[in-house]
Amino acid sequence: MGAGGNGRLTRSLALRHVFALSMGAMVPSGLFLLPGLAASKVGPAAVLAYLIAGALAIPAMLSVAELSTALPKAGGVYYFLERALGPSVGTIAGFGTWLSLVLKDAFAMVGMSAYLVLVVDIDSRPLAVVLIGLFMVVNIAGSKASASLQLWLVVLILAIMGWFIADGLLETSERGFGEGNLDPFFTTGKSGVFAVVGLVFVSYGGLTKVASAAEEVDDPSLRIPLGLTLSLLTATALCTLGMLVTAAVVPSEVLHEDLAPIHTAAEAILPSWGAWLVVVAALAAFASAVNAGILAAARYPMAMARDGLLPARIGAVGSRGTPVVGVVATSAAIALVVLAFDAEAIAKLASAFVLLTLGLVNIAVLVLRASRIPSYAPAFRTPLYPVTQFAGILISFFLIAELGPLAWGFVVAISAVSWGWHRLYATGRTKRAGAIRNVFQRWAEDVDSGLDREMSAAMAGHGLRAGDDYLGLVARAVVLNAPEGADIGEAADRAATVLADRIGLSQEQVTERFLETGSLWIQTSDAHPTATPLALFEAIDDDLLVIVRATMGVSIPVTWGGSGERVNGLFFLAGTTANPGRSLRLAGELGSYLQSGARAIGRAMTEADVKTALLPGLTVRQYALLPEGQDAGLIGHRIAQLDFPEGVAVASVTRLGVVLPAEPELVLEADDQLTVYGPEDVMPPAGDPVPVATLDR
């Protein structure tokens, strides 16, 4: 994706960055700060609280992964909830989730302060504010720079804490797990454990941070589910085992008052330099949490501004492709909380809205699936739907109840303020109704007809996955010409006539399907504006493309998703309902080339030239196999018998106006038209024979 000047975020984050962003957000407060607070409430049984919290986070993780692969857009959870449940809930989710991330990051800064006083004898809170400023600068510099820093911090944390846990478990096993500080295990009874589960659940709030940066992840369909799974498993193991070691080696009367419990435990089991390494790991962990938090939280104001829920200037993307206003506002809010609140209050308040937000995420999956919007096509689907979602909803509200009235009061207050902002400012600035209206079709006048188109556009910006045959789609395409003065109806009818033969429907049915779907993107260009209508069909397994050229231009009316724009090319993409995500990704890839290669498309003289313009680095040639022509020797041979240079292949064979797939056993006949593609430096000039070295017998 482009960045900076065009207002789009850079798609530059790989699997390691997804893992690092999520891990960096989950580990610090949960491992380095919370053990003392958790143990003060239930004793060593806090170990179970961490393990249970990690297990209870699984339904939310799966739902976040599904939504992120269906709607990989900046704003993450806010974007999901706004599109599923409407702008009112979206505003509450946007403000609330942003604030919960701010609180969580402020909690990390409190922990950082506790470890900093072990290194230098200074007032740590002003220093924490300075560090927040440094992370703000890093995030303004670019998301890849921020994520790369995150990766190195997480590697350092895992290495040092792996050593700490290994030594701690060895010493604890030698002492005996049932001895010393671990006995009694339940100091306040088993019932108190779930109250602590709610408290430590803030540790796993990092699951939402990856979703916030989904628009910047390369191939989010694969990397987000895998990265989230790996990070949740790793974080749960690290926090649970770290809590076990700490509870085992630190006396309870010391642990309960300690805001740097891992360092205290390290002093008991590691050499002195090892204990100082733990301090380094803690500082790196808290630094990574704040870094990841600013990166994620800054995307919420940006996404809300895009939707008219906040002033437009808040959503501005700077010259380096980052949301500058969002980064600055988030950093300032974190600094304010650090100076104003104590650790336990921050943890409870952050956990409350993390839990509420994750509960709403599960509701969003239920709504979007029930809406049956064709373009809701997640590459990853939650297993055991809808049981997983209902379990996640019950978990969230049960744990919020366990946190007590302060947490409920926070949730209600933020919800009320957010709802009031939506009513006073945002009402009238956004026309979306949310996918929930699509569930209740009896409210037909309220159904958001533009939501399908927007979801299509979100998925189209996803980027290609392995197996998405963009090259084949273009090489097999049929290119037609619209007569002078033709309107979009006539252009659509011409495309539908070709597609009807291949789909098995009537021309009228094909045209009607394109109108019903309503998914059309206009690629503006001074040289050669184009439009890409998309429709999905049950009767086909492969995506089909028909290109209709209109030298004098065709107007796109409102009924087709336009507003009177004139285009010189229509790219009708017939996708498959069996794999709508692939069709949308192909549409997005096609659109990106139409944006950048418009001038070359406008200059193209032949069908082969049009296809070549859409396939950078490749050349497409078409050859008529005339009985007395220069390629007559190919007639009667199977495609498998043709020995092409490396990189050259047959895309399709057109016979009597019907495009046939280039299957190896297809026998070439007289008057066939052969479409061949290959690298620019290998393909012969136009007019030369088919580049076949020999004919295998």
Which 3-state string (H, E, C) describes 402-446? HHCHHHHHHHHHHHHHHHHHHHHHHECCECCCCCHHHHCCCCHHH
d(CA 578, CA 95): 37
Nearest one of 168, 130, 154, 146 to 24, comparing CA atoms = 154
CB 350 within 8 Å of CB 107? yes
Q: Which residues have CB under 8 Å from 176's CB, separation 6+?
A: none
CB 459 within 8 Å of CB 523? no
Residues in the chain: 697
Give the model's pLDDT for residue 63. 92
Domain ranges of the chain: 13-424, 463-613, 618-695
Provide, for the chain, the percentages of residues in helix, strand and coil under a 3-state DSSP scheme, each rounded to the nearest 5.
Answer: 60, 10, 25
Bridge partners (DSSP) listed for residue 678: 619
Nearest one of 645, 652, 643 to 681, comparing CA atoms = 645
Looking at domain 463-613, does it have CATH number 3.40.930.10? yes
If you search the block for the tokens 């082969």, which residue do you land on? 608
**What topology is assigned to 618-695 in CATH?**
Alpha-Beta Plaits (3.30.70)
What is the reported pTM? Answer: 0.69
> How deeply is 340 buried, as exposed, middle or buried, from its count of CB atoms within 10 A (0-12, 13-18, 19+)?
exposed
Give the model's pLDDT for residue 591. 78
Nearest one of 125, 150, 141 to 18, comparing CA atoms = 150
Give the model's pLDDT for residue 447. 46
Determine phi and psi for 674, rounding to 5 degrees. -100, 125
Determine the residue type at 199: L
Q: Which residues have CB under 8 Å from 292's CB, separation 6+?
A: 20, 21, 24, 25, 146, 150, 206, 209
d(CA 670, CA 631): 10
Q: Which residues have CB under 8 Å from 363's CB, separation 6+?
A: 84, 85, 389, 393
**Distances, alpha carbon 686 to alpha carbons 116, 428, 606, 671, in Å:** 71, 57, 11, 18
Q: What is the pLDDT of residues 574-586, one digit of tens each?
A: 988 888 878 877 8
Nearest one of 205, 433, 211 to 303, comparing CA atoms = 211
**Distances, alpha carbon 609 to alpha carbons 150, 495, 606, in Å:** 46, 19, 5
**Distances, alpha carbon 393 to alpha carbons 59, 196, 366, 412, 547, in Å:** 9, 19, 11, 17, 47
Q: What is the pLDDT of residues 163-197, one digit of tens each?
A: 999 998 888 777 666 566 777 777 776 667 888 88
HSE-up of residue 175 (Cα within 13 Å, Cβ side): 17
Q: Which residues have CB under 8 Å from 230's CB, separation 6+?
A: 19
Q: How many CB atoms lie within 10 A of CB 192?
A: 18
d(CA 566, CA 528): 10
Residue segments in the chain with a per-residue pLDDT below the cut of 50: 1-7, 439-448, 460
**What topology is assigned to 13-424 in CATH?**
Amino acid/polyamine transporter I (1.20.1740)
Q: What is the side-by-side order of every strand in the sheet holding 649-655? A: 618-624, 673-679, 649-655, 658-661
